Structure 1
Amino acid sequence: MNTEQNISKELFQPAQIDLNKSERIEKPSLTYWQDAWLRLRKNKAALFGLVMVIIVIAMAFIGPLMTGYGIDDQDLSRAKMPPKVPVLENIGWLSLDGKDSNGNDVYAAKGKEGEYYYFGTDGLGRDIWTRTWEGTQISLFIAFAAAIIDMVIGVAYGGISAYYGGRVDNYMMRFIEILIGIPNLVVVILMILVLEAGLTSIIIALTITGWTGMARIVRGQVLKLKNQEFVLASRTLGAPDSKIIMKHLIPNVLGIVIINAMFSIPSAIFFEAFLSFIGLGLQAPNASLGVMIEDGYRSLQIFPHMMIFPAVVMSILMIGFNLLADGLRDALDPKMRD
């Protein structure tokens, strides 16, 4: 059965196209750093690491103010007391009720029923909570100072070496190879022989050879960039070498620099803890995470709380910085883009 249908000619009229709208860009334009932040926000592991780092850094400054005990307040009557936390003391499986491994109430036995030591006390009766967060401040200071010095020296050295090239690059790279051949532990021992063991000697030891890795990475990036068109255009227009390096080359390698600086922070924290553990780091009465772990290691089997809490804080810091650095690498490195 054939059915004839009348179709209006109006249906065959061409559509009206607005040329102004066809040129419109609907997606907002983003800068390099805005795009990197959006990519970082999508990385749940990196955000988790960032939250961990922020919490530990905040507690490093807020924690010592929460108890009222000083970092060096000694009282042998409260020595080696287990941790006790308000409210949490009622949860038996957490072992934060002030009882020892035999179930004896140490606080009651020493007449300290109304007192609370969140992480317990050490062999001299000092509050481990306060010492842990004060030690975290020192460990973070050493790590950030070493990372900043490495970044400044490494970027300047690697940028100059790659930009001028030739004989300058050859001599500067041979000097780096000499420094790389010297073990860090040897440098630390030499620093302690010349200087007293402390913050200054540790930071100097970390920076003497620590910047070489940054310099080699920056050199490789600058070698790829210095012959590109925007650099040649600046050189043709008469821009001085210092301006080309600071305005064109360094900003283009800044993402790689930040990534490597983030990776160097947990390495510096671990190296400081290692030096303190073998007795070449900070000395008493100074406190760092490494010093506290070394002190707690001596009584690990009898009083494990003296080592566990500083070790947990240091582990959280290192995991957090590594997760954040991995996320920044994915966000800032153009080669990692989807």
Structure 2
Amino acid sequence: MAIEKKSKDMFEPAMIDSTKSEEMSKPSLNYWQDAWLRVRKNKGAIVSLVVLVLLTIMAFIGPHLNKYGYDEQNLPHNNLPPRIPVLENISWLPFDGDLVRKNGDVYNAYEQKNVDDYYWLGTDNLGRDIFTRLWMGTQVSLYIALLAAVIDMVIGVIYGAVSGFVGGKTDNIMQRITEILVGIPNLVVVILMIIVLNPGILSITIALTITGWVGMARVIRAQVMKLKNQEYVLAARTLGLSNGKIISKHLIPNLAGVIIINTMFTIPNAIFFEAFLSFIGLGLQPPLASLGTLINDGFKVLQLYPYQMVIPAITISVIMVCFNMIADGLRDALDPKMRD
């Protein structure tokens, strides 16, 4: 068997260009750019974000797309099913104005009542346009979402950061306050607000302001207690920075990921809380529209006119799922423990 000879050139050391030894093959990314790339990989979060943006746009322009007001009653047009131009000619879509009687007969409600108008999502028992009321109710849900986010990011973050950073007797007193608030259910606070005020969005706003920030405050306190003895905090304190500047310039920016994640998970709970209160009659009062009141009105006539409940129920479900999916994507992108 012939032995292949190796040339001496094969044993020469490789020529390495020292000028390119530290050259980066990819562009440098900061924390937020890297997080955005991770979020983009989560298709569910991106789709949910797009859907949420579309719902937000429709919530503000939807009530102005037709001629009906959210509180405008028209009793001769009550309980009409959805009917949409062009789509009414497609037999397999439920937008032709047909209803089913208890005995199974199908009839056209618009022809029976001699109605030439189009109600895109139908009308309720008072003849009010459900399309307009649906988007007015969506505005309320988005307001509650914004309110919950502001309460968490302002009251919860500041309270938790001060409690965890100062420590000692101040921390003990502040934590006893949070423990008292945790022991009071939100529903009890709302009922107490209703005794003083009238049922409505103001009572819900005050109730969320009183108790809605407690969870965020406890999370931020725990994180601040873990970070306040880090080297960069001790260095800032040595350089003479006040406690307020250390919290605002060093601790809170390093907790941005935790704050965003917890806020996004709080929003669906706040939306459901408002819808539940409106459903049981402790939230918005007629003729104001909320997704909870729409579901309550539709629940009363579910067997006869199921569209009155199904449409707002699907809307609030989509909103809550979108917020949860976005929160899940942000957690995977911002939490170092979730990174691969």
TM-score > 0.5, shorter chain as reference = yes
* Mean Cα deviation higher: 41-50 or 156-165: 41-50
Aligned to 2:84: 85
Secondary structure at 1:219's aligned position in 2? helix
- d(CA) in 2 for partners of 1:149 and 1:13? 68
Aligned to 1:23: 22
Q: What's the CA shift for 1:203?
A: 0.8
Aligned residues: 336
Counterpart AA for 2:264: M
Counterpart AA for 2:73: Q
Q: What's the CA shift for 1:81?
A: 0.3
Summarize the Cα distance change of 1:120–1:3 in structure 2 as closer, same or farther, 3 Å threshold. closer
- d(CA) in 1 for partners of 2:219 and 2:236? 24
Secondary structure at 2:313's aligned position in 1? helix
Aligned to 1:142: 144
Aligned to 1:236: 238
Aligned to 2:33: 34
Counterpart AA for 2:70: I
What pairs with 1:4-153 in structure 2 (closer than 5 Å)?
Answer: 7=7, 13-101=12-100, 102-113=105-116, 115-153=117-155
Aligned to 1:269: 271
Q: What's the CA shift for 1:123?
A: 1.2
- d(CA) in 2 for partners of 1:149 and 1:49? 23
Aligned to 1:296: 298
Candidates 202, 207, 212, aligned match of 2:204: 202
Q: Check if 1:181 corresponds to 2:180.
A: no
Q: Could you list the per-position Cα deviations for residues 72-107 of structure 1 after superposition, in whole angstroms to 9, with x for gaps in the alignment?
A: 222112111001122322233332210111321111
* Mean Cα deviation higher: 80-89 or 126-135: 80-89
Contact in 2 for aligned 1:146/1:203 (Cα 8 Å): no
Counterpart AA for 2:153: M
Q: Could you list the per-position Cα deviations for residues 251-306 of structure 1 after superposition, in whole angstroms to 9, with x for gaps in the alignment?
A: 11111111111111111111001001111001011111111111111111111111
Q: What's the CA shift for 1:207?
A: 2.1
Counterpart AA for 2:55: V
Give the TM-score taking structure 1 as reference length: 0.95
Could you list the runs of 5+ residues in structure 1 that have no partner in the other structure?
A: none
* Mean Cα deviation higher: 299-308 or 309-318: 299-308
Q: What's the CA shift for 1:3?
A: 8.7
- d(CA) in 2 for partners of 1:301 and 1:170? 55
Contact in 2 for aligned 1:275/1:281 (Cα 8 Å): yes
What pairs with 1:254-333 in structure 2 (closer than 5 Å)?
Answer: 254-333=256-335
Counterpart AA for 2:87: L
Could you list the runs of 5+ residues in structure 2 that have no partner in the other structure?
A: none
Summarize the Cα distance change of 1:118–1:4 in structure 2 as closer, same or farther, 3 Å threshold. closer
Secondary structure at 1:104's aligned position in 2? strand
- d(CA) in 2 for partners of 1:15 and 1:256? 48
Q: What's the CA shift for 1:109?
A: 1.7
